[in-house]
Chain A
Amino acid sequence: MINDVYKTVLSILNKNNYGYITPQDFNLYAKQAQLDILDDYFTNYNYQVNKENARQSGTGYADLKKGYEEVIDGLSETKNLTQNATNTYFLPSQVTTSDDYYLINKVLCSRGVTFLGEAERVSHSKITMLNNSSLTAPTEKFPAYVQNGSAITVFPATINGANDVQAQYIRYPKDPKWTFTTITGGTPIFDQTQADYQDFELAIDDQVDLVMKILHMAGMSIREIQAVQFAKAEDQINIQEKK
Protein backbone atom coordinates (compact mmCIF):
# COMPACT_ATOMS: atom_id res chain seq x y z
CA MET A 1 0.00 0.00 0.00
CA ILE A 2 2.84 2.38 0.81
CA ASN A 3 3.97 2.66 -2.80
CA ASP A 4 0.45 3.50 -3.94
CA VAL A 5 0.22 6.21 -1.33
CA TYR A 6 3.63 7.55 -2.27
CA LYS A 7 2.81 7.68 -5.97
CA THR A 8 -0.58 9.29 -5.36
CA VAL A 9 0.90 12.00 -3.15
CA LEU A 10 3.62 12.75 -5.67
CA SER A 11 1.13 12.70 -8.49
CA ILE A 12 -1.10 15.30 -6.84
CA LEU A 13 1.85 17.50 -5.95
CA ASN A 14 3.46 17.23 -9.36
CA LYS A 15 0.28 17.64 -11.33
CA ASN A 16 0.03 21.29 -10.46
CA ASN A 17 3.77 21.71 -10.17
CA TYR A 18 3.45 22.30 -6.43
CA GLY A 19 6.73 20.61 -5.76
CA TYR A 20 8.36 17.35 -4.77
CA ILE A 21 8.95 15.54 -1.49
CA THR A 22 11.89 13.27 -0.84
CA PRO A 23 11.45 9.68 0.34
CA GLN A 24 12.89 10.68 3.72
CA ASP A 25 10.26 13.40 4.14
CA PHE A 26 7.56 11.08 2.91
CA ASN A 27 8.50 8.48 5.53
CA LEU A 28 8.31 11.05 8.29
CA TYR A 29 4.91 12.30 7.16
CA ALA A 30 3.70 8.73 6.67
CA LYS A 31 4.53 7.87 10.27
CA GLN A 32 2.65 10.92 11.57
CA ALA A 33 -0.33 10.22 9.33
CA GLN A 34 -0.52 6.61 10.46
CA LEU A 35 -0.45 7.58 14.16
CA ASP A 36 -3.07 10.21 13.56
CA ILE A 37 -5.39 7.68 11.92
CA LEU A 38 -4.79 5.15 14.70
CA ASP A 39 -5.92 7.75 17.23
CA ASP A 40 -9.01 8.39 15.15
CA TYR A 41 -9.85 4.71 15.23
CA PHE A 42 -10.45 4.75 18.96
CA THR A 43 -12.44 7.98 18.80
CA ASN A 44 -14.55 6.65 15.94
CA TYR A 45 -15.03 3.35 17.72
CA ASN A 46 -16.41 5.14 20.76
CA TYR A 47 -18.60 7.29 18.51
CA GLN A 48 -20.08 4.16 16.94
CA VAL A 49 -20.72 2.60 20.35
CA ASN A 50 -22.67 5.69 21.35
CA LYS A 51 -24.60 5.55 18.10
CA GLU A 52 -25.49 1.93 18.76
CA ASN A 53 -26.72 2.83 22.22
CA ALA A 54 -28.88 5.53 20.65
CA ARG A 55 -30.19 2.87 18.22
CA GLN A 56 -28.79 4.78 15.25
CA SER A 57 -26.60 2.03 13.95
CA GLY A 58 -27.31 -1.11 11.98
CA THR A 59 -26.06 -4.66 11.90
CA GLY A 60 -24.37 -6.73 9.21
CA TYR A 61 -22.78 -4.48 6.56
CA ALA A 62 -24.01 -1.43 8.45
CA ASP A 63 -22.01 -2.43 11.51
CA LEU A 64 -19.20 0.10 11.26
CA LYS A 65 -17.94 -0.71 14.73
CA LYS A 66 -16.93 -4.16 13.61
CA GLY A 67 -14.61 -2.67 10.97
CA TYR A 68 -12.84 -0.54 13.56
CA GLU A 69 -12.51 -3.52 15.87
CA GLU A 70 -10.89 -5.57 13.13
CA VAL A 71 -8.24 -2.94 12.44
CA ILE A 72 -7.52 -2.36 16.13
CA ASP A 73 -7.35 -6.11 16.78
CA GLY A 74 -4.85 -6.36 13.94
CA LEU A 75 -2.43 -4.54 16.22
CA SER A 76 -3.19 -6.75 19.22
CA GLU A 77 -0.36 -8.64 20.91
CA THR A 78 -0.33 -11.04 23.85
CA LYS A 79 3.09 -11.43 25.42
CA ASN A 80 4.71 -12.26 28.73
CA LEU A 81 5.84 -9.25 30.70
CA THR A 82 9.44 -9.15 31.85
CA GLN A 83 9.81 -9.31 35.61
CA ASN A 84 11.48 -6.36 37.25
CA ALA A 85 11.39 -7.42 40.91
CA THR A 86 9.10 -9.83 42.83
CA ASN A 87 5.59 -8.75 41.85
CA THR A 88 6.66 -5.87 39.58
CA TYR A 89 6.75 -6.30 35.81
CA PHE A 90 7.86 -4.04 32.98
CA LEU A 91 5.22 -2.78 30.59
CA PRO A 92 5.73 -3.70 26.92
CA SER A 93 8.53 -1.73 25.26
CA GLN A 94 11.03 -2.08 22.46
CA VAL A 95 13.51 -3.49 24.99
CA THR A 96 11.26 -6.07 26.64
CA THR A 97 8.65 -7.09 24.07
CA SER A 98 10.08 -5.53 20.87
CA ASP A 99 7.15 -3.17 20.49
CA ASP A 100 5.66 -0.12 22.20
CA TYR A 101 2.15 -0.35 23.54
CA TYR A 102 -0.65 2.05 22.74
CA LEU A 103 -2.95 0.72 25.42
CA ILE A 104 -2.99 -2.25 27.79
CA ASN A 105 -6.26 -4.09 27.33
CA LYS A 106 -5.83 -6.79 29.94
CA VAL A 107 -3.26 -8.32 32.26
CA LEU A 108 -3.48 -12.07 32.80
CA CYS A 109 -1.97 -13.84 35.79
CA SER A 110 -1.02 -17.49 35.99
CA ARG A 111 1.16 -19.87 37.90
CA GLY A 112 3.01 -22.18 35.56
CA VAL A 113 0.40 -23.46 33.14
CA THR A 114 -2.49 -22.79 35.54
CA PHE A 115 -4.43 -19.66 34.76
CA LEU A 116 -5.30 -17.72 37.91
CA GLY A 117 -7.29 -14.70 36.82
CA GLU A 118 -7.34 -11.43 34.97
CA ALA A 119 -5.79 -8.58 36.93
CA GLU A 120 -7.80 -5.42 37.16
CA ARG A 121 -6.19 -2.02 36.79
CA VAL A 122 -6.72 0.02 39.94
CA SER A 123 -5.76 3.64 40.53
CA HIS A 124 -3.20 4.57 43.15
CA SER A 125 -5.89 6.38 45.09
CA LYS A 126 -7.81 3.12 45.55
CA ILE A 127 -5.20 0.38 45.87
CA THR A 128 -4.40 0.96 49.56
CA MET A 129 -8.05 0.79 50.54
CA LEU A 130 -8.55 -2.20 48.29
CA ASN A 131 -5.66 -4.08 49.88
CA ASN A 132 -7.08 -3.31 53.34
CA SER A 133 -10.59 -4.41 52.47
CA SER A 134 -11.64 -7.77 53.86
CA LEU A 135 -14.21 -8.40 51.14
CA THR A 136 -12.43 -7.09 48.07
CA ALA A 137 -8.70 -7.38 48.73
CA PRO A 138 -7.00 -8.75 45.60
CA THR A 139 -6.70 -12.52 45.54
CA GLU A 140 -5.13 -14.90 43.06
CA LYS A 141 -8.58 -15.40 41.53
CA PHE A 142 -9.24 -11.67 41.41
CA PRO A 143 -5.83 -9.96 41.14
CA ALA A 144 -5.26 -6.24 40.67
CA TYR A 145 -2.41 -4.06 39.47
CA VAL A 146 -1.24 -0.48 39.57
CA GLN A 147 1.03 1.25 37.12
CA ASN A 148 4.29 2.81 38.27
CA GLY A 149 6.08 4.53 35.41
CA SER A 150 7.11 1.89 32.92
CA ALA A 151 6.18 -1.03 35.18
CA ILE A 152 3.16 -2.50 36.89
CA THR A 153 2.87 -3.92 40.41
CA VAL A 154 0.59 -6.92 40.70
CA PHE A 155 -1.39 -7.81 43.82
CA PRO A 156 -1.46 -10.11 45.71
CA ALA A 157 2.30 -10.28 45.97
CA THR A 158 2.17 -14.08 45.71
CA ILE A 159 1.98 -13.59 41.96
CA ASN A 160 5.70 -13.20 41.50
CA GLY A 161 6.98 -15.81 39.06
CA ALA A 162 9.13 -14.81 36.10
CA ASN A 163 6.46 -15.93 33.63
CA ASP A 164 3.38 -15.37 35.76
CA VAL A 165 2.15 -12.19 34.11
CA GLN A 166 1.03 -11.74 30.54
CA ALA A 167 -0.47 -8.70 28.84
CA GLN A 168 -2.79 -8.33 25.90
CA TYR A 169 -2.26 -4.89 24.44
CA ILE A 170 -2.60 -2.80 21.33
CA ARG A 171 0.82 -1.91 20.03
CA TYR A 172 1.78 1.09 17.97
CA PRO A 173 1.99 0.27 14.27
CA LYS A 174 5.52 -0.07 12.98
CA ASP A 175 6.97 3.03 11.34
CA PRO A 176 6.20 2.88 7.61
CA LYS A 177 9.21 3.04 5.35
CA TRP A 178 9.15 3.51 1.60
CA THR A 179 12.44 1.94 0.55
CA PHE A 180 14.14 2.45 -2.77
CA THR A 181 17.18 1.87 -4.94
CA THR A 182 18.73 4.78 -6.72
CA ILE A 183 19.33 4.46 -10.40
CA THR A 184 21.30 6.69 -12.68
CA GLY A 185 19.86 10.17 -12.80
CA GLY A 186 19.03 10.16 -9.12
CA THR A 187 15.43 8.98 -9.41
CA PRO A 188 14.52 6.66 -6.54
CA ILE A 189 12.82 3.44 -7.58
CA PHE A 190 10.62 1.60 -5.08
CA ASP A 191 12.24 -1.57 -3.74
CA GLN A 192 10.33 -3.58 -1.17
CA THR A 193 13.08 -6.18 -0.86
CA GLN A 194 15.13 -3.86 1.31
CA ALA A 195 15.58 -5.12 4.89
CA ASP A 196 14.07 -2.03 6.47
CA TYR A 197 11.00 -1.93 4.22
CA GLN A 198 7.77 -1.49 6.15
CA ASP A 199 4.29 -1.07 4.76
CA PHE A 200 1.46 0.74 6.53
CA GLU A 201 -0.32 -1.41 9.10
CA LEU A 202 -3.76 0.02 8.54
CA ALA A 203 -6.70 -1.14 6.46
CA ILE A 204 -6.59 -0.55 2.70
CA ASP A 205 -9.59 1.78 2.93
CA ASP A 206 -7.42 4.13 4.96
CA GLN A 207 -5.37 4.84 1.87
CA VAL A 208 -7.42 7.94 1.05
CA ASP A 209 -6.98 9.29 4.56
CA LEU A 210 -3.26 8.59 4.45
CA VAL A 211 -2.86 10.40 1.15
CA MET A 212 -4.76 13.42 2.39
CA LYS A 213 -2.91 13.64 5.69
CA ILE A 214 0.48 13.27 4.01
CA LEU A 215 -0.54 15.78 1.37
CA HIS A 216 -1.57 18.14 4.12
CA MET A 217 1.84 17.90 5.77
CA ALA A 218 3.68 18.03 2.46
CA GLY A 219 1.71 21.14 1.45
CA MET A 220 2.69 22.80 4.69
CA SER A 221 6.28 21.82 4.05
CA ILE A 222 6.47 23.32 0.60
CA ARG A 223 4.30 26.25 1.68
CA GLU A 224 1.66 25.57 -0.89
CA ILE A 225 -1.63 26.73 0.57
CA GLN A 226 -3.80 25.21 -2.15
CA ALA A 227 -2.43 21.74 -1.46
CA VAL A 228 -3.14 22.20 2.24
CA GLN A 229 -6.68 23.43 1.64
CA PHE A 230 -7.41 20.64 -0.80
CA ALA A 231 -6.19 18.00 1.66
CA LYS A 232 -8.07 19.59 4.52
CA ALA A 233 -11.32 19.74 2.58
CA GLU A 234 -11.01 16.09 1.54
CA ASP A 235 -10.25 15.11 5.10
CA GLN A 236 -13.40 16.83 6.34
CA ILE A 237 -15.51 15.07 3.72
CA ASN A 238 -14.04 11.74 4.78
CA ILE A 239 -14.82 12.38 8.43
CA GLN A 240 -18.42 13.30 7.65
CA GLU A 241 -18.89 10.23 5.50
CA LYS A 242 -17.70 7.96 8.29
CA LYS A 243 -20.32 9.34 10.62
Chain B
Amino acid sequence: MAYITQFQYYDNAGATPTNKNWGSYQYVSLYDIVNNYQLMYMGNHSLVNNESRYKVLFHAKRAIQELNYDAFKEIKVLELPIDENLRFILPSDYVNWVRISLYKDGVLRPLTENIQVGSALAYLQDNTGKFLFDQDGNVLSPEYSTLDFERIKGTKKSIYLNKNSQFDGFEGYCCDGCWYFDYPGSARYGLNTETANANPTFTIDKKSGVINFDSTMSGENCILEYISDGMENGDDSLITVNKMFEDFVYAYITYAILDSKLNVQEYIVRRSQKKKTALLRNAKIRLSNIHPGRLLMNMRGQDKWIK
Protein backbone atom coordinates (compact mmCIF):
# COMPACT_ATOMS: atom_id res chain seq x y z
CA MET B 1 0.00 0.00 0.00
CA ALA B 2 1.27 3.40 -0.87
CA TYR B 3 2.23 5.79 1.88
CA ILE B 4 -0.50 8.22 2.85
CA THR B 5 -0.36 11.88 3.76
CA GLN B 6 -0.92 13.14 7.29
CA PHE B 7 -4.27 14.53 6.14
CA GLN B 8 -5.33 11.10 4.92
CA TYR B 9 -4.07 9.52 8.12
CA TYR B 10 -5.77 11.80 10.62
CA ASP B 11 -8.90 12.77 8.72
CA ASN B 12 -9.21 10.13 6.00
CA ALA B 13 -8.92 13.06 3.57
CA GLY B 14 -12.24 14.39 4.80
CA ALA B 15 -14.17 11.22 4.04
CA THR B 16 -16.11 9.19 6.56
CA PRO B 17 -15.23 7.40 8.72
CA THR B 18 -12.50 9.86 9.60
CA ASN B 19 -10.74 7.36 11.87
CA LYS B 20 -10.30 4.76 9.12
CA ASN B 21 -6.51 5.12 8.86
CA TRP B 22 -5.64 5.54 12.51
CA GLY B 23 -2.94 3.06 13.45
CA SER B 24 -2.86 1.66 9.94
CA TYR B 25 0.91 2.08 9.71
CA GLN B 26 1.38 -0.89 12.04
CA TYR B 27 -0.08 -3.22 9.47
CA VAL B 28 0.61 -4.54 6.02
CA SER B 29 -2.31 -5.66 3.91
CA LEU B 30 -2.87 -9.12 2.49
CA TYR B 31 -2.74 -7.65 -0.99
CA ASP B 32 0.72 -6.24 -0.32
CA ILE B 33 1.90 -9.51 1.17
CA VAL B 34 0.88 -11.51 -1.91
CA ASN B 35 2.15 -8.86 -4.29
CA ASN B 36 5.51 -8.50 -2.53
CA TYR B 37 5.93 -12.24 -2.27
CA GLN B 38 5.38 -12.78 -5.96
CA LEU B 39 7.71 -9.93 -6.78
CA MET B 40 10.54 -10.83 -4.41
CA TYR B 41 10.38 -14.54 -3.70
CA MET B 42 8.99 -16.04 -6.89
CA GLY B 43 10.52 -16.14 -10.32
CA ASN B 44 13.00 -17.74 -12.67
CA HIS B 45 15.91 -17.44 -10.26
CA SER B 46 14.11 -18.12 -6.99
CA LEU B 47 13.44 -21.20 -4.93
CA VAL B 48 9.74 -20.86 -5.64
CA ASN B 49 8.80 -20.75 -9.29
CA ASN B 50 5.83 -21.59 -11.49
CA GLU B 51 3.34 -21.63 -8.62
CA SER B 52 -0.19 -20.32 -8.93
CA ARG B 53 -1.05 -17.11 -7.14
CA TYR B 54 -3.99 -18.74 -5.43
CA LYS B 55 -1.57 -21.06 -3.65
CA VAL B 56 0.41 -18.09 -2.39
CA LEU B 57 -2.84 -16.47 -1.30
CA PHE B 58 -3.96 -19.61 0.49
CA HIS B 59 -0.71 -20.00 2.43
CA ALA B 60 -0.62 -16.28 3.26
CA LYS B 61 -4.09 -16.54 4.76
CA ARG B 62 -3.19 -19.69 6.63
CA ALA B 63 -0.16 -17.95 8.08
CA ILE B 64 -2.32 -15.05 9.23
CA GLN B 65 -4.83 -17.46 10.77
CA GLU B 66 -2.09 -19.26 12.68
CA LEU B 67 -0.72 -15.95 13.93
CA ASN B 68 -4.16 -14.91 15.12
CA TYR B 69 -4.52 -18.10 17.13
CA ASP B 70 -1.43 -17.80 19.26
CA ALA B 71 0.89 -14.94 18.43
CA PHE B 72 -1.13 -11.79 18.00
CA LYS B 73 -2.44 -10.04 21.03
CA GLU B 74 -5.45 -8.81 19.16
CA ILE B 75 -8.35 -9.72 21.34
CA LYS B 76 -11.82 -8.72 20.28
CA VAL B 77 -14.40 -7.79 22.90
CA LEU B 78 -18.16 -8.08 22.58
CA GLU B 79 -20.75 -7.05 25.17
CA LEU B 80 -24.25 -8.51 25.11
CA PRO B 81 -27.04 -8.67 27.70
CA ILE B 82 -28.13 -12.16 28.65
CA ASP B 83 -31.84 -12.77 28.15
CA GLU B 84 -34.07 -15.32 29.85
CA ASN B 85 -32.70 -18.09 27.61
CA LEU B 86 -29.40 -17.62 29.46
CA ARG B 87 -27.31 -17.93 26.36
CA PHE B 88 -24.81 -15.81 24.52
CA ILE B 89 -24.63 -16.52 20.80
CA LEU B 90 -20.98 -16.69 19.74
CA PRO B 91 -19.87 -13.86 17.43
CA SER B 92 -19.74 -14.62 13.70
CA ASP B 93 -15.92 -14.47 13.67
CA TYR B 94 -15.41 -16.37 16.92
CA VAL B 95 -12.67 -18.99 17.01
CA ASN B 96 -11.81 -19.31 20.71
CA TRP B 97 -12.50 -17.47 23.95
CA VAL B 98 -9.99 -15.73 26.17
CA ARG B 99 -12.11 -14.53 29.09
CA ILE B 100 -15.79 -14.20 29.87
CA SER B 101 -16.86 -11.64 32.43
CA LEU B 102 -19.93 -10.26 34.09
CA TYR B 103 -20.11 -6.49 34.06
CA LYS B 104 -22.04 -5.33 37.09
CA ASP B 105 -21.98 -2.22 39.26
CA GLY B 106 -19.08 -0.83 37.22
CA VAL B 107 -16.92 -3.84 37.99
CA LEU B 108 -15.74 -6.49 35.56
CA ARG B 109 -16.02 -9.91 37.21
CA PRO B 110 -14.26 -12.74 35.38
CA LEU B 111 -16.43 -15.85 35.35
CA THR B 112 -15.30 -19.42 35.78
CA GLU B 113 -16.14 -22.15 33.34
CA ASN B 114 -18.31 -24.92 34.62
CA ILE B 115 -17.08 -28.07 33.00
CA GLN B 116 -20.02 -30.05 34.33
CA VAL B 117 -22.67 -30.65 31.73
CA GLY B 118 -25.23 -27.88 31.82
CA SER B 119 -27.11 -28.42 28.59
CA ALA B 120 -28.40 -31.45 26.74
CA LEU B 121 -30.52 -32.53 23.82
CA ALA B 122 -33.59 -34.59 24.70
CA TYR B 123 -35.93 -36.87 22.69
CA LEU B 124 -39.65 -37.22 23.24
CA GLN B 125 -40.90 -40.67 24.24
CA ASP B 126 -44.32 -42.11 24.80
CA ASN B 127 -45.42 -43.79 28.03
CA THR B 128 -43.92 -47.10 26.90
CA GLY B 129 -40.53 -45.51 26.30
CA LYS B 130 -40.73 -45.52 22.50
CA PHE B 131 -39.30 -42.56 20.63
CA LEU B 132 -41.68 -40.23 18.81
CA PHE B 133 -40.95 -39.28 15.21
CA ASP B 134 -42.22 -36.65 12.83
CA GLN B 135 -43.48 -37.36 9.28
CA ASP B 136 -39.93 -37.12 7.92
CA GLY B 137 -38.68 -39.80 10.25
CA ASN B 138 -36.80 -37.47 12.54
CA VAL B 139 -37.04 -37.99 16.25
CA LEU B 140 -38.95 -35.26 18.10
CA SER B 141 -37.23 -33.09 20.67
CA PRO B 142 -38.72 -30.89 23.40
CA GLU B 143 -37.77 -27.22 23.49
CA TYR B 144 -35.67 -27.77 26.58
CA SER B 145 -34.20 -30.86 28.15
CA THR B 146 -34.77 -31.25 31.89
CA LEU B 147 -31.16 -30.23 32.42
CA ASP B 148 -31.65 -27.05 30.39
CA PHE B 149 -35.00 -26.32 31.99
CA GLU B 150 -33.67 -26.55 35.51
CA ARG B 151 -30.67 -24.43 34.61
CA ILE B 152 -32.76 -21.76 32.93
CA LYS B 153 -35.53 -21.70 35.47
CA GLY B 154 -33.13 -21.98 38.40
CA THR B 155 -35.02 -24.97 39.77
CA LYS B 156 -31.84 -26.95 40.17
CA LYS B 157 -30.42 -27.06 43.65
CA SER B 158 -27.11 -25.35 44.12
CA ILE B 159 -25.02 -24.03 46.95
CA TYR B 160 -25.57 -20.50 48.16
CA LEU B 161 -22.35 -18.62 48.79
CA ASN B 162 -22.42 -15.44 50.80
CA LYS B 163 -20.17 -15.28 53.80
CA ASN B 164 -22.18 -12.37 55.22
CA SER B 165 -25.36 -14.41 55.28
CA GLN B 166 -26.52 -16.99 57.73
CA PHE B 167 -27.34 -19.21 54.74
CA ASP B 168 -23.78 -19.27 53.46
CA GLY B 169 -23.02 -22.77 52.18
CA PHE B 170 -26.67 -23.93 52.25
CA GLU B 171 -28.20 -25.83 49.36
CA GLY B 172 -31.07 -23.93 47.82
CA TYR B 173 -32.78 -22.71 44.70
CA CYS B 174 -32.06 -19.50 42.86
CA CYS B 175 -35.04 -18.11 41.00
CA ASP B 176 -35.02 -14.70 39.32
CA GLY B 177 -32.13 -13.64 41.52
CA CYS B 178 -33.78 -14.67 44.81
CA TRP B 179 -32.66 -17.68 46.85
CA TYR B 180 -35.03 -20.15 48.43
CA PHE B 181 -34.11 -22.86 50.91
CA ASP B 182 -36.03 -26.02 51.83
CA TYR B 183 -35.37 -25.68 55.52
CA PRO B 184 -32.86 -23.95 57.73
CA GLY B 185 -30.04 -26.24 58.57
CA SER B 186 -26.44 -26.26 59.37
CA ALA B 187 -23.79 -25.21 56.90
CA ARG B 188 -22.83 -27.66 54.21
CA TYR B 189 -19.31 -28.91 54.07
CA GLY B 190 -17.48 -30.76 51.32
CA LEU B 191 -17.84 -27.88 48.93
CA ASN B 192 -17.34 -28.53 45.24
CA THR B 193 -14.51 -26.05 44.75
CA GLU B 194 -14.74 -26.26 41.02
CA THR B 195 -17.99 -24.36 40.99
CA ALA B 196 -17.49 -22.50 44.26
CA ASN B 197 -17.77 -18.97 43.05
CA ALA B 198 -20.27 -16.29 43.95
CA ASN B 199 -20.40 -15.22 40.31
CA PRO B 200 -22.40 -17.10 37.67
CA THR B 201 -20.71 -19.92 35.80
CA PHE B 202 -20.87 -20.76 32.13
CA THR B 203 -20.46 -23.67 29.74
CA ILE B 204 -19.52 -23.29 26.10
CA ASP B 205 -21.50 -25.39 23.66
CA LYS B 206 -19.21 -25.11 20.64
CA LYS B 207 -21.32 -27.12 18.23
CA SER B 208 -24.46 -25.15 19.02
CA GLY B 209 -22.50 -21.91 18.91
CA VAL B 210 -23.67 -20.60 22.28
CA ILE B 211 -22.39 -19.96 25.77
CA ASN B 212 -24.85 -21.24 28.37
CA PHE B 213 -25.03 -19.54 31.76
CA ASP B 214 -26.64 -20.48 35.01
CA SER B 215 -29.85 -18.74 36.05
CA THR B 216 -28.09 -16.02 38.07
CA MET B 217 -26.84 -14.49 34.84
CA SER B 218 -30.30 -13.58 33.62
CA GLY B 219 -30.54 -9.93 32.63
CA GLU B 220 -26.86 -9.28 33.27
CA ASN B 221 -24.29 -7.87 30.88
CA CYS B 222 -21.76 -10.35 29.59
CA ILE B 223 -18.39 -9.31 28.20
CA LEU B 224 -16.80 -11.84 25.90
CA GLU B 225 -13.12 -11.50 25.06
CA TYR B 226 -12.25 -13.74 22.15
CA ILE B 227 -9.89 -14.30 19.28
CA SER B 228 -10.75 -14.56 15.62
CA ASP B 229 -8.75 -15.87 12.67
CA GLY B 230 -8.18 -12.45 11.11
CA MET B 231 -10.10 -13.26 7.94
CA GLU B 232 -12.46 -10.30 8.41
CA ASN B 233 -15.54 -12.19 7.28
CA GLY B 234 -14.01 -12.97 3.92
CA ASP B 235 -13.26 -9.40 2.93
CA ASP B 236 -9.70 -9.65 1.57
CA SER B 237 -9.32 -5.89 1.46
CA LEU B 238 -9.58 -5.70 5.27
CA ILE B 239 -7.13 -8.48 6.07
CA THR B 240 -3.92 -7.14 7.54
CA VAL B 241 -0.96 -8.41 9.50
CA ASN B 242 1.32 -6.60 11.91
CA LYS B 243 4.58 -5.57 10.25
CA MET B 244 6.54 -7.43 12.93
CA PHE B 245 5.24 -10.63 11.35
CA GLU B 246 5.68 -9.68 7.71
CA ASP B 247 8.90 -11.62 7.22
CA PHE B 248 7.42 -14.59 9.01
CA VAL B 249 4.49 -14.68 6.59
CA TYR B 250 6.88 -14.73 3.62
CA ALA B 251 8.91 -17.49 5.24
CA TYR B 252 5.75 -19.44 6.03
CA ILE B 253 4.57 -19.26 2.41
CA THR B 254 7.97 -20.39 1.12
CA TYR B 255 8.08 -23.28 3.55
CA ALA B 256 4.51 -24.37 2.85
CA ILE B 257 5.08 -24.38 -0.91
CA LEU B 258 8.47 -26.10 -0.81
CA ASP B 259 7.24 -28.64 1.69
CA SER B 260 4.48 -29.81 -0.63
CA LYS B 261 6.46 -29.61 -3.85
CA LEU B 262 7.90 -32.61 -5.59
CA ASN B 263 11.68 -33.01 -5.97
CA VAL B 264 12.74 -30.29 -3.57
CA GLN B 265 15.80 -31.41 -1.66
CA GLU B 266 15.14 -32.08 2.00
CA TYR B 267 17.87 -29.70 3.16
CA ILE B 268 16.10 -26.84 1.39
CA VAL B 269 12.81 -27.73 3.03
CA ARG B 270 14.50 -27.93 6.44
CA ARG B 271 16.23 -24.61 5.88
CA SER B 272 12.97 -22.90 5.09
CA GLN B 273 11.32 -24.53 8.08
CA LYS B 274 14.05 -23.29 10.43
CA LYS B 275 13.81 -19.82 8.98
CA LYS B 276 10.07 -19.76 9.48
CA THR B 277 10.32 -20.93 13.09
CA ALA B 278 13.10 -18.48 13.93
CA LEU B 279 11.20 -15.56 12.44
CA LEU B 280 8.08 -16.45 14.40
CA ARG B 281 10.10 -16.53 17.62
CA ASN B 282 11.70 -13.18 16.79
CA ALA B 283 8.38 -11.58 16.01
CA LYS B 284 6.79 -12.89 19.21
CA ILE B 285 9.64 -11.44 21.27
CA ARG B 286 9.33 -8.12 19.50
CA LEU B 287 5.60 -7.98 19.99
CA SER B 288 5.84 -8.92 23.66
CA ASN B 289 7.34 -5.45 24.27
CA ILE B 290 9.63 -6.57 27.04
CA HIS B 291 11.66 -3.50 27.95
CA PRO B 292 13.16 -2.14 31.18
CA GLY B 293 10.43 0.43 31.73
CA ARG B 294 7.76 -2.25 31.81
CA LEU B 295 9.73 -4.66 33.94
CA LEU B 296 10.49 -1.91 36.42
CA MET B 297 6.83 -1.33 37.14
CA ASN B 298 6.29 -5.04 37.79
CA MET B 299 9.42 -5.36 39.90
CA ARG B 300 8.30 -2.55 42.18
CA GLY B 301 5.92 -5.00 43.76
CA GLN B 302 8.75 -7.20 45.05
CA ASP B 303 9.24 -5.23 48.27
CA LYS B 304 5.59 -5.20 49.17
CA TRP B 305 4.77 -6.87 52.46
CA ILE B 306 2.36 -9.73 52.18
CA LYS B 307 0.25 -9.80 55.30
Query: A-side interface residues toward B, CB under 8 Å?
Result: 49, 52-53, 117, 120, 122, 130, 133-136, 139, 141-142, 144
A-chain residues with CB within 8 Å of residue B237 when the two chains form the complex: 141
Q: Is the interface of B mostly helix, strand, loop or mixed?
A: helix
**Is there an interface contact between B54 and A142, defined as CB atoms closer than 8 Å?**
yes
Q: Are B236 and A52 in contact (CB under 8 A)?
A: no
Which among B31, B34, B52, B62 has the greatest number of chain A C-beta atoms within 10 A? B52
Are A122's CB and B31's CB within 8 A?
Answer: no
Distance (whole angstroms) from the CB of B132 to the closest CB of chain A: 38
Report whether B58 and A142 are in contact in the complex, using a CB–CB cutoff of 8 Å: no
Interchain CA distance A141-B58 in the complex, whole Å: 14
Beyond A52-B44, A134-B234, A142-B34, list 18 extra A-B contacts (CB 8 Å).
A49-B44, A49-B45, A53-B45, A117-B31, A120-B52, A120-B54, A122-B54, A135-B57, A135-B58, A135-B61, A136-B54, A136-B57, A136-B58, A141-B236, A141-B237, A142-B54, A142-B57, A144-B54
B8-53, CB < 8 A from A:
31, 34, 44-45, 52-53
- Write out the residue numbers on chain B whose beta carbons fall within 8 Å of the beta carbon of A139: 236
Closest to B30 in A: A141
- What are 13 sample pairs from A and B whose C-beta atoms fall under 8 A apart? A49-B44, A53-B44, A53-B45, A120-B53, A122-B52, A135-B58, A136-B54, A136-B61, A139-B236, A142-B31, A142-B34, A142-B54, A144-B54
The distance in angstroms between the C-alpha atoms of A127 and B217, with both chains bound, is 49
A117 to chain B: closest CB distance in Å? 8
Interface residues of B in 215-269 (CB under 8 A from A): 231, 234, 236-237
Q: How far is the CA of A120 from the CA of B54 in the complex (A)?
A: 8
| Closest-CB distance, B252 to chain A (whole angstroms) | 14
- Asked if residues A130 and B45 are in contact (CB atoms below 8 Å), the reply is no
CB under 8 Å from chain A, chain B span 58-106: 58, 61-62
Q: Is A142 a contact partner of B236 (Cβ separation < 8 A)?
A: yes
Query: Residue on B with the closest CB to A120?
Result: B53
In the bound complex, residues from chain B placing their C-beta under 8 Å from that of A136 are: 54, 57-58, 61
| Assembled-state Cα–Cα distance A135/B237 (Å) | 13
State the total of A-B contacts with C-beta under 8 angstroms.
35
Q: Which residue of B lies closest to A134 (CB)?
A: B234
Residues of chain A within 8 A (CB-CB) of B53 are 120, 142
Contacts of B58 in A (CB 8 A): 133, 135-136
Q: How far is the CA of A56 from the CA of B234 in the complex (A)?
A: 46
Residue in B31, B54, B61 whose CB lies within 8 Å of A130 = B54
- In the bound complex, residues from chain A placing their C-beta under 8 Å from that of B61 are 135-136
What is the CB-to-nearest-CB distance from A59 to chain B, in angstroms, rounded to a whole number? Answer: 12
CA distance A177 to B30 in the complex (A): 51
In-complex Cβ contact of A141 among B31, B44, B52, B62 (8 A): B31
Please measure, in the bound complex, the distance between the C-alpha atom of A139 and the C-alpha atom of B52, giving whole angstroms: 15
Min CB gap B256→A, angstroms: 13
Q: Which residues of A contact B57 (CB under 8 A)?
A: 135-136, 142
Closest to A53 in B: B45
A134 to B231, CA, bound (A): 10
Q: Which of B53, B58, B237 has the most CB of A within 10 A?
A: B53
Task: List residues of chain A with CB within 8 A of the CB of B231.
Answer: 135
B71 to chain A, nearest CB (A): 19
Q: Closest CB-CB distance, B222 to chain A, in whole Å?
A: 29
The minimal Cβ–Cβ distance linking B124 to chain A, given in whole angstroms, is 37
Chain B residue nearest to A52 (CB atoms) is: B45
User: Which residue of the partner chain B has the closest CB to A123?
Assistant: B52
Cα–Cα distance between A52 and B57 once the two chains are bound (Å): 28
A66 to chain B, nearest CB (A): 13
Closest to A119 in B: B53
- Collect the chain B residues with CB atoms within 8 Å of residue A117's CB: 31
Chain A residues contacting B236 (CB-CB under 8 Å) are 139, 141-142
Contact of B62 among A53, A130, A135 (CB under 8 A): A135
Top 10 A-B residue pairs of the complex, sorted by shortest distance between their CB atoms = A136-B54, A120-B53, A49-B44, A136-B58, A135-B61, A139-B236, A141-B236, A136-B57, A135-B58, A141-B31
